[in-house]
Amino acid sequence: MRRVFVRMLVCVMLIAMIVPLGAFAQKNMTITLWTKESEAEGVLQEIIELTKEFGKAHPGVEFEVVNYGVEDLRQNFQSAAFAGAGPDLLWTVSDHAGPFEAMKLIKPVDALFGAGYIDKFVKPGIEAVELGGKVWGVPLSVGNHLMLLYNKKLVASPPKNTDELIKVGKELTKDLDGDGKPDQYALVYNLNEPFWFAAWMGGFGAWPLDGTEPTLNTPGVVDALQFVYDLKFTHKIVPMECDYDAADSLFKEGKAAMIINGDWSLSGYLTDEVKKNVELGVARIPMVTKTGLWPSPMTSGIYFMFPEYVSADKEAVIKDFVEYICSEEIQLLFLEKYMRLPALESALKSPLVTDDPIVKGSSDQMVVGKPMPTVPEMRAAWDAIRPNQEAVMAGKATPADAAKAMQEACENLIREMKK
């Protein structure tokens, strides 16, 4: 055994000595890009292609594209930037601007690119990452908003308001195989996820934050909680338990007439395989009859953010790259392939946006959306809403109690965060 071990050691050492000879040849500039895009939709592969394309025009520039999940990206960037060794460019969601700005880990982009460049993007896209009078990201696409998607094979036209939704919903929830349990649902969505609940909040005239102040214990929030509670327990038009994968799967299989899902999911419902079961229609989430307001899904977007420690010579190249990706041509490519609404004012006027019924439906919904607050306090609001929303959806708390608990939790969290 020992002899084998020694032999292995010798082999390994020999290889170890040969290898480094080639490794220290002239190094070019390598730009590390961290992105939240994964292979699940194919966007990661697209990014890698684009960096190669960019490299052709910029000899000597290489990209290292690294994918992390949204949460991992945030946590990793914090640790990396704290230790002083992180990526050169971030491709991530707008909510990260708040904490990164508070931690002083990124730099404002208006100073970097000049106001003229920033003005080319649509206003809501810029407002979503504006903090303290400065802009902290360059938008790749705006939207990321929820909308009502319906299967024309099951429901001819979408309900216009919530009364209609409940009425149609009761007809569409069916027990097809007669085992006493429904196996076709009227409406599916991620029942316990605050991001979905936020849209309903807007429909009842409520919103989690007013500036940086939590406004969760309001009649609107109570009504919204009562409404989602009723969908599940009173009207029974949503499944008893439904997470993202279940909702997505039910809709794809044609077992759900309607789904509330985001623009990122659209391309997944247009594949040939899904088309066998689903004829996709896009509409606004039905108006809340009680208030006469449209539910307002949160709009945000995908942004480039610039770590504050990147050297000037790298930054010049990175600026070129960002301008390349944010050009009209590439933004329209992302629209066509992945249904991402462009952030450039000029690109939004393209016939690709105005003539396609699905894209039009999506942008129609976006009009009534509200930008997701970028302030770090929003994080506290999410975390405060989640457990209490779960409590209502489990029938463990009344809407009034839950709203009160949300407000208290949110205030506590903000106080702890600011300590």
Partner 1 sequence: MLPLTWDIVVQGIGEVGKLIFFVAVAVISLEVVAYLILVKWLKFKNALPFMLMLPALAGVAILILYPFGFNIYLAFSNMSMYRFKEFSVGWQYGISNLLDVFRVPVLQRVTFFQLFLRTFIWTAINVVFHVLGGLILAILLNRPMRGKAIYRTLLVVPWAIPQVIAALAWRCEFHYQYGFVNILLEKLGLRAVQWMSDPFWAFIAVVVVNIWLGIPFMMVTILGGLQSISPDYYDAAQIDGASGWQQFRFITLPLLNPILTPAIILGVIWTFNNFNVIYLVTGGGPMEGTDILVTSLYKAVFEFYRYGFGAAYSLVIFLFLLVFSVIYLRISGGFKGAWEA
Partner 2 sequence: MTSMKSQETTLLTTGLRTYSKTRRKAMLKSAAIHFVLIVACIIAVYPFLRVVSISLRPGVALLSTSLALIPKGATLDNYRTLILDKDFTVWLWNSLIVSVATVLIGLLLAATAAYAFSRWKFPGRRQGLVFLLLTQMVPPGMLLLPIYIMVVRLNLFNTYTGMIIAYSVGSVPFSIWLLKGYYDTIPKELEEAALVDGADPLTTFYRIVLPLAAPALAIAGLFSFMTAWNEYMMARVMLQKASMFTWPLGFQKLRDQFTTQWGVFSAASVLVAIPAMLLFLYSSKWLISGLTLGGLKE
Q: Give the interface with partner 1 as residue ranges (CB under 8 A).
A: 9, 12-16, 18-20, 23, 45, 75, 78, 82, 99, 102-105, 192, 239-243, 246, 249, 376, 379, 383-384, 386-388, 390-391, 393-394, 396, 405, 409, 412-413, 416-419
Residue 3 contact among partner 1, partner 2, none, beta carbon within 5 to 8 Å by kind: none
Nearest C-alpha neighbor of 138 from the set 319, 264, 297, 337: 319
- Which one of partner 2, partner 1, none interacts with residue 277, CB within 5 to 8 A by kind? partner 2
What residue ranges in 80-179 does DSSP mark as E strands? 89-93, 106-107, 130-131, 134-135, 138-143, 146-151
Contact 375, 131 (CB under 8 A): yes
Interaction partner, residue 391 (partner 1, partner 2, none; CB < 5-8 Å by kind): partner 1
Q: Quick one: 141 or 407, whose CB is closer to partner 1? A: 407
Q: Please tell me whether residue 379 binds partner 2 under the rule CB under 8 A.
A: no
- Taking CA 401 as the corner, what is the angle to CA 147 and CA 371, rounded to the nearest 5 degrees? 30
313 touches partner 2 (CB under 8 A): no
Q: Are 98 and 131 in contact (CB under 8 A)?
A: yes
* Residue number with CB closer to partner 2 (55 or 120): 55
What is the 8-class DSSP label of residue 239? -
Partner in contact with 15, chosen from partner 2, partner 1, none, beta carbon below 5 to 8 Å by kind: partner 1
User: Which residues in the 1-20 window bind partner 2 by CB under 8 A?
Assistant: 1-2
Question: Residue 364's beta-bridge partner residues?
Answer: none
Q: 241 is in the binding site of which of partner 2, partner 1, none (Cβ under 5 to 8 A by kind)?
A: partner 1
Number of residues that bind partner 2 (CB under 8 A): 45
Whole-number Å distance between alpha carbons of 8 and 14: 10
The Cα angle at residue 187 between residues 185 and 190, in degrees rounded to 5: 115
What does 231 interact with, of partner 2, partner 1, none (CB < 5 to 8 A by kind)? none
CA distance 355 to 348: 11
Which run of H or of E encompasses 361? helix 357-367
CA 67/CA 19 separation, integer angstroms: 28
Instruction: For 225-263, give one letter per residue: b (16+ CB within 10 A) or e.
Output: bbbbbebbeebbbbbeebebebbbebbbebbbbbbbbbb
6 versus 111: smaller Cβ distance to partner 2: 6
84 binds partner 2 (CB under 8 A): yes
| Spatial distance between the Cα atoms of 166 and 107, rounded to a whole number of angstroms | 48
- Compare residues 199 and 222 and give the one whose CB is closer to partner 2: 199
Q: Which 262-291 residues touch partner 2, going by CB under 8 A?
A: 262, 264-265, 268, 273-274, 277
- Answer for the pair 201, 381: CB distance below 8 angstroms, yes or no: no
**Residue 87 contacts partner 2 per CB under 8 A:** yes
Q: Which of partner 2, partner 1, none has residue 2 at its interface (CB below 5 to 8 Å by kind)? A: partner 2
Check residue 248 for interaction with partner 2 (CB under 8 A): yes
Q: Which residues contact partner 2 (rule: CB under 8 A)?
A: 1-2, 32, 34, 36-41, 44, 64-70, 72, 76, 79-80, 82-87, 93, 190, 244-246, 248-250, 252-253, 262, 264-265, 268, 273-274, 277
